[in-house]
Structure 1
């Protein structure tokens, strides 16, 4: 257990430092937003490009991983949507936010730093593939359904086209395409350019965790305990369990990537989750869910790592 704590403790200590910095006004909340923009637009894209150009393209583009993680995430998305619509009797826009919260992991800010400590370099490949799934499948689907729900169901197709159009300008997607192109063409970056990319990539993980901590300061969960607990349970328990079961069913899969997939799925939801909630009139629910899920994830992520390593699932002993 001490080995598990040694992996997760630095992650949450950095989150705590970010929280403390904003709580004590060493850094203002708008500055945290600026750091978040730096991570999303520069550091994470650089990290993805560095990972993609350092490996053969056939090793990076793993169809089984895309199938396994994508299938598990879609299953959780559909189950969460059905639960919110049929059991909780939520409107479609709220049900879509339920589904997004349970099936869309924070791969860049939380999942990658944890997975990198557990499995090492394969975590970067898993992160790039996860972001393909999240940005091209889960997020557009959720936003299109939410848009349809907020406008009486008449604009699903238009909302989906608008989501795809926005994603074409997403720095993460551009970085994935650029990195893949460089790898396929077998082009070597000039040394100064590669060094700049490397420096940006190195800043991604610690800055991302600091941003999460600063973002959490001031968030409140009062009055929404039932909704928050259900979304948190779906994200921290159901999603990693679904990913685990799907990857156990895949034959002869890379153990490190399989473990990385489960770890990524055990991360809290996307840090921009409250922004989506605000867009559809439910910022309090999404903000409270992000706060509660992130706090509980310290325990659940540690538990997931312990289960995977103690039982040597996928043959991975750590």
Structure 2
């Protein structure tokens, strides 16, 4: 457990921690981090996502396990949204994004590289399946729905224009087209994307750390409730649903490991993009990132 923590988990977490430290000591400004995050979102993340989606071997996936994972996401999202909206009286978009933080794990930029370090590429197939699901479906769903809710009354035309020009959604769509049609991506293109995509996770985590460093860490009832739903309820629910569909043991283990990961940074990024208050979303990401270190090492 200790070796997994020190050799596989902390090296990935270190980029987030380094960004937080340099942000707190004013060595890197929020504006500089915002520029880095924009480059990562516009160029590096699409370069990481497209080869992943385009090369997926769908026949190797256990779709009953993925369906169980998705079902757990839907159930807990509904509960978390109701708690934030009704019990804590949060505005619609903030409650929506807080609920997203409960069920949307930082799979692509955090759990995926950690699983490769621990298990290797072949053994991490279940995590790759969740990365594909979250990248192609969950990610796109929250981008589209948040945009539509934030711009209610703006008409379908402008909303569609924003959606179809989103670089991450373009990468997802193109990857699916290439995959389903069986097209071959030229090797130089894959090499260029591999070179660029390798920087997506460290730069995004670093920029996130800098931006989060400007937020208070003091937990509140809301922050504690959302964090516990994320770190306790979601892994338990995923473990139960995946067990019910009799998925192979390695898929049960790695699905539970993934569900125990920290809240995905996209909830915070969407809050910044649509000017939703972040005084609760940011601490949720920070606390789940810190508290998940030991739980991930134990589960792995």
Gap change, CA 1:199 and 1:254, over 3 Å in 2: farther
CA shift, 1:244, in A, is 1.7
Shift of the 70–267 alpha-carbon distance from structure 1 to 2, 3 Å rule, reads same
CA distance in structure 1 between the aligned counterparts of 2:190 and 2:91, rounded to whole angstroms? 49
2:263 corresponds to which of 259, 263, 269? 269
The corresponding residue for 1:45 is: 46
Deviation by residue 1:38-64 (Cα, 9 ceiling, x = unmatched): 32232232222223344434346x643
Work out the number of aligned pairs and report it. 294
Post-superposition Cα deviations, 1:223-278, rounded to whole Å, max 9, x if no partner, equal x511111111111221222222221122344825x444333322332324345446
Q: How does 1:39-188 map to 2 (within 5 A)?
A: 39-59=40-60, 63-90=63-90, 92-121=92-121, 122=125, 123-138=127-142, 140=144, 166-188=162-184
Alpha-carbon separation, structure 1, partners of 2:269 and 2:194: 30
Contact 2:49 2:135 in 1 (8 A): no
* 1:72 CA drift (Å): 0.9
Work out the CA distance in 1 between the residues paired with 2:241 and 2:158. 31
Residue 70 of structure 1 deviates from its aligned partner by 1.7
Structure 2 Cα separation of the partners of residues 109 and 87 of structure 1:
32
> Which residue number corresponds to residue 234 of structure 2?
239
Match of 1:255 in 2: 250
Decide whether the 8 Å contact of 2:66 with 2:129 is kept in 1: no
Cα distance, 1:288–1:51 mapped onto 2, change above 3 Å: closer
Higher RCO (CA < 8 A, seq sep 6+): 2
Partner of 1:35: 36
- Give, in whole Å, the separation in 2 of the partners of 1:161 and 1:64: 37
Q: Which residue among 180, 183, 200 is the counterpart of 1:204? A: 200
* Ranges in structure 1 where 5+ consecutive residues have no aligned partner: 149-154, 310-318
Of 88-97 and 243-252, deviating more is 88-97
Contact 1:70 1:133 in 2 (8 A): no
Structure 1, residues 108-147: CA drift from partner, whole Å, max 9, x if none?
3323233333343324443121123322445555676x65
TM-score normalized with structure 1 length: 0.76
Change (3 A) 1:8 1:84: same
CA contact (8 A) 1:126 1:260 kept: no
101 and 160 in structure 1: CA distance in 2 versus 1, 3 angstrom threshold = farther
- Please give the secondary structure, in 2, of the residue aligned with 1:219: coil
